[in-house]
Amino acid sequence: VSRRRASEKRSTEMGNKRAEKKHDKHHKTTRKEGEKDRKRPRRRNADEEEAEEESSKEKKNIKNERTKTVKLEDEKEKDVKKKRKNSESESHSESNSDAESKDNQAVGVLGSLTPEELEQLKEAVDERKKLITTLKGKPWPMKKKLVILRESQEFVEKYEGALGKGKGRKLYAYKVLMMKKWMKFQRDLENFKTACIPWEMKIKEIESHFGSSVASYFIFLRWMYGINMILFGLTFGLVMVPEALMGKPYGSMPRKTVPRVEEASAMNFAVLWDFGGYAKYSVLFYGYYNNQRAIGWLKFRMPLSYFLVGVGTVAYSYMVVIRTMARNANEEGGGDDTSFNFSWKTFTSWDYLIGNPETADNKFASITTSFKEAIVEEQESRKDDNIHLTRFLRVLANFLVLCCLAGSGYLIYFVVRRSQKFALEGLENYGWWERNEVNMVMSLLGMFCPMLFDVISTLENYHPRIALQWQLGRIFALFLGNLYTFIIALMDAIQLKRAEEEIVKKNMTIWQANLYNGTVPDNSTALPITVHPADVPRGPCWETMVGQEFVRLIISDTMTTYITLLIGDFLRAVLVRFLNNCWCWDLEYGFPSYSEFDVSGNVLGLIFNQGMIWMGAFYAPCLPALNLLRLHVSMYLQCWAVMCCNVPQERVFKASGSSNFYMAMLLVILFLSTLPAIYTIVSIPPSFDCGPFSGKNRMFDVIQETLETDFPAWFSKVFSYASNPGLVLSFLLLLVLAIYYLQSTSKTYKRVNMELKKKLQTQNEENKRKNKLAALKAANELEQAKKAGEQCSNSASDLGESTQNVSQLP
């Protein structure tokens, strides 16, 4: 889709530029219309004659002309390069002898043109150029397109050079050359960008086997991969690498060293898998970063960079999602328009991407069923059998779902508090389950609750599309509820850590006093006692803890997804395939049969995964890298699983006609997941001894600091004026007014649109009626004419017979 947009945009941009230029010229030249009218027909005739001459010659013997013009074009390319230095007439004289006479003719004729006619010629040349750029979109056969392309190119070449006569000649020729170079550059860039798109063949295979709806999940995955690539580039290049290369190395500071107590177990695989030990005290997490204002010989502003990258990732994500939504919105028609129901079913239901006989069979069956359903709906009115029972059942179903949601929320909260209790008592006493309880519970809930919702929804008896929308809404609520419960529990943990921090601070002063105990109490002359960084008592670093929790969550989520995939799809397929021979009923047709690919469930999973990344990326810069790896593996694993274990869907129901449905969900998740991060940045003071903001009162103080120290004095003055509440408030008010204005204009446009539509419809009906009447009238007249004609012919035949009889008389 993006490529089509780019090419359309380019051609319309070109077209618009040309159209604008044309408009300007029209305004200029309208005054002198009268004068030109005499001269113009002559000029135009000459032009047309020459063009006709050219085209007729071309059409007579195409082969010879083609080789000749290929040579011509070769030479013309050389000409273009020379044009900058020499004048145009000289370059033309070097071209092919056949074209030479024409060129000289053209130059000669042009030499005698008035400026207005030069303008006209310029317009013609621009028009030809526009034709060349929009040639792809013309519905002509390829041969015609190639011929017209060649003609237009020759026309442009011939007259463009000569047009530069007069004052702006050199500038014009230069502009033309730059434009050509720019177009070539753009084309090369397009070629390069297309070559970079990965997994094209894989997606094509899936499309041909499963149709476009399953493939849309993989296209979405690929798009997410692109976004994560950019996020990874930002965090890796601007945060992790500078600290690793230019910051103080491991072991030089307390925050960068594994504490003495943990040293023994720091290299254990179990600890590393849990992201403790050496993994915790590395660039992967927030706590490692030093709060030194400028590091290395580049004077790289590390804390500023950390903060800005955090803000930048969110801003970039917003921009990309909103831009994609806007693009998709342009394509939308009326959304759920039902005025062309049957027409659309007839002309747009066959999926041209299908390249597999089994999928084609399924598609034929589903199209037939869809038609039969639509016919039945059209013929009968819907029977409301027992609406009260249906309503009661639906209310019951919603009640059950709410209970489920509340239950899962409470379960998560309970488990998180329990895990905090375990942490306080020391994790070594507990087994694997207790340590990973929270993550496992969240992942298992995410796996089983949707199935439960599916079962409950059978009570409701909705149309499949509406049932799918309800299902998606419930899963969305489930994930959201779980995530926010998790965050609330995490907030409690943060508060605990901060309380602990106060205690540690007090202990630090006591410990330092003890250190100096043996030496002179006078601080000014005391030598600093070197203490190994591993022995210094450490404050609890709540930011690193938050980062760790998110990383653990992502990992367990990934593992659960893969294991579900392997067991749910692969194992099931293996069982069905191999046990089918020795089982009582046909496993492939009845229960359990092969699974279908659940597009909406997978898309939701992907969206929520991304939400967690956005939430945690500020505290664990390694998250985008981890996610990139995860998406890469997912792509290959799921492609394999889909081709190997799944069968094409029998009925395809899209959740909504609009392709913006999932984009809108992504936007909502983006908003909701950046809220907690923003809250913690704005309201909680950073830890005193870890991270790039340690020692500050609030994390965003780094901006203030940079403004004061790195920018000239007047800059910070301007900023302090700009952040005056009065100014900020009035600016906000202006924004709100602008939004209100834009919304009301768009509403007006929509209304006008509807009115025009209605007008068109009534007009059509009027026309129909009139045509019907006219048709009836015409039919009547025809009948009458026929009758009259018959009578005539009867009388004529009588006459003929009588004359025949007469002639036969002896």
Scan residues 273-332 and list those touching another protein (CB under 8 A): 331-332
Q: Which is nearer to another protein, 216 or 390 (CB)?
A: 216
Q: Classify residue 518 by its DSSP letter.
A: G
688 near 695, Cβ under 8 Å?
A: yes
Q: How far is CA 556 from CA 189, 266, 414, 552, 609, in A?
A: 41, 21, 19, 6, 11
Q: Which is nearer to another protein, 65 or 543 (CB)?
A: 65
Q: Which is nearer to another protein, 357 or 521 (CB)?
A: 357
146 binds another protein (CB under 8 A): yes
CA–CA separation, 745 vs 627, rounded Å? 42
CA–CA separation, 43 vs 120, rounded Å? 10
In the list 16, 61, 114, 346, the residue contacting another protein (rule: CB under 8 A) is 346
In the list 185, 364, 410, 715, the residue contacting another protein (rule: CB under 8 A) is 364
Amino acid, res. 462: Y
Tokens of 48: 């047309």
Shortest distance in whole angstroms from residue 282 CB to another protein: 42
Shortest distance in whole angstroms from residue 200 CB to another protein: 8
96 binds another protein (CB under 8 A): no
Q: Which is nearer to another protein, 357 or 712 (CB)?
A: 357
Q: Which is nearer to another protein, 44 or 759 (CB)?
A: 759
Q: Which residue has the tokens 């969110």?
A: 314
Stretch that binds another protein, among 143-151, 174-182, 256-264, 622-630 (CB under 8 A): 143-151
87 binds another protein (CB under 8 A): no
334 binds another protein (CB under 8 A): yes
Size of the site for another protein (CB under 8 A): 77
Residue 201 CB neighbours (<10 A): 8
Give me the 33-72 binding string for another protein, x by CB under 8 A, dash otherwise. ------------------------------x--xx--x--
81 binds another protein (CB under 8 A): no
Shortest distance in whole angstroms from residue 188 CB to another protein: 7
Q: Which residue has the tokens 């030990």?
A: 277
In the list 333, 518, 521, 528, the residue contacting another protein (rule: CB under 8 A) is 333
Tokens of 502: 């106060």
102 binds another protein (CB under 8 A): no
Shortest distance in whole angstroms from residue 757 CB to another protein: 10
CA–CA separation, 152 vs 127, rounded Å? 9
Shortest distance in whole angstroms from residue 259 CB to another protein: 56
In the list 182, 340, 640, 679, the residue contacting another protein (rule: CB under 8 A) is 340
Q: Which of residues 161-220 bind another protein (CB under 8 A)?
A: 187-188, 190-191, 194-195, 200, 203-204, 207-208, 212
The angle at the Cα of 735, spanning 729 to 741, to the nearest 5 degrees, equals: 135
Tokens of 235: 């965090």
CA–CA separation, 332 vs 90, rounded Å? 54
792 binds another protein (CB under 8 A): no
Q: Which of residues 433-452 bind another protein (CB under 8 A)?
A: none
Shortest distance in whole angstroms from residue 463 CB to another protein: 18
Helix (H) or strand (E) holding 230: helix 212-235
Shortest distance in whole angstroms from residue 105 CB to another protein: 25
Tokens of 66: 């083609």
372 binds another protein (CB under 8 A): yes
Shortest distance in whole angstroms from residue 133 CB to another protein: 8
CA–CA separation, 648 vs 371, rounded Å? 20
The length of the chain in residues reads 810
Tokens of 154: 């020759």
Shortest distance in whole angstroms from residue 603 CB to another protein: 16
Question: If DSSP codes are grouped into helix, strand and coil, which group holds residue 695?
Answer: coil
In the list 378, 384, 428, 522, the residue contacting another protein (rule: CB under 8 A) is 378
71 class by beta-carbon count within 10 Å (0-12 exposed, 13-18 middle, 19+ buried): middle
449 near 480, Cβ under 8 Å?
A: no
CA–CA separation, 525 vs 102, rounded Å? 98
Tokens of 693: 């903001």
Q: Classify residue 429 by its DSSP letter.
A: G
Tokens of 141: 């056969």
Q: Which is nearer to another protein, 651 or 717 (CB)?
A: 651
The angle at the Cα of 260, spanning 255 to 263, to the nearest 5 degrees, equals: 95
Tokens of 112: 């005698």
CA–CA separation, 76 vs 91, rounded Å? 9
Q: Classify residue 266 by its DSSP letter.
A: T
Q: Which of residues 622-661 bind another protein (CB under 8 A)?
A: 657-659
Stretch that binds another protein, among 80-88, 333-341, 623-631, 729-737 (CB under 8 A): 333-341
In the list 172, 318, 371, 462, the residue contacting another protein (rule: CB under 8 A) is 371
707 binds another protein (CB under 8 A): no
Shortest distance in whole angstroms from residue 118 CB to another protein: 27
Shortest distance in whole angstroms from residue 195 CB to another protein: 6
In the list 27, 85, 141, 697, the residue contacting another protein (rule: CB under 8 A) is 141
Q: Which of residues 716-775 bind another protein (CB under 8 A)?
A: 764, 767-768, 771-772
Q: Which residue has the tokens 């022995």?
A: 535
In the list 109, 244, 279, 367, the residue contacting another protein (rule: CB under 8 A) is 367
Shortest distance in whole angstroms from residue 61 CB to another protein: 13
Helix (H) or strand (E) holding 124: helix 115-133
Shortest distance in whole angstroms from residue 633 CB to another protein: 24
Sign of the dihedral through C-alpha 663, 667, 670, 676: negative
In the list 38, 60, 101, 357, the residue contacting another protein (rule: CB under 8 A) is 357
Q: Which is nearer to another protein, 190 or 598 (CB)?
A: 190
Q: Which is nearer to another protein, 127 or 434 (CB)?
A: 127
In terms of Cα–Cα distance, which of 323, 412, 290, 235 is closest to 667? 323
On the CB side of 783, CA atoms within 13 Å amount to 5
Shortest distance in whole angstroms from residue 330 CB to another protein: 11
Q: Classify residue 300 by its DSSP letter.
A: B
Shortest distance in whole angstroms from residue 342 CB to another protein: 4
Helix (H) or strand (E) holding 596: strand 595-596
Shortest distance in whole angstroms from residue 144 CB to another protein: 10
Q: Which of residues 475-504 bind another protein (CB under 8 A)?
A: none
- Segments in 426-463 forming alpha helices (H): 432-435, 437-457
Amino acid, res. 572: R
Q: Which is nearer to another protein, 207 or 569 (CB)?
A: 207
222 near 198, Cβ under 8 Å?
A: yes
Amino acid, res. 185: F
Give me the 571-600 binding string for another protein, x by CB under 8 A, dash otherwise. ------------------------------
Q: Which is nearer to another protein, 216 or 564 (CB)?
A: 216
Q: Which of residues 519-548 bind another protein (CB under 8 A)?
A: none
Q: Which is nearer to another protein, 1 or 734 (CB)?
A: 1
Q: Which of residues 657-686 bind another protein (CB under 8 A)?
A: 657-659
Shortest distance in whole angstroms from residue 383 CB to another protein: 20
CA–CA separation, 468 vs 704, rounded Å? 50
Q: How far is CA 179 from CA 18, 173, 174, in A?
A: 13, 10, 9
Tokens of 453: 């919702």
| Rounded CA Rg of the chain | 38
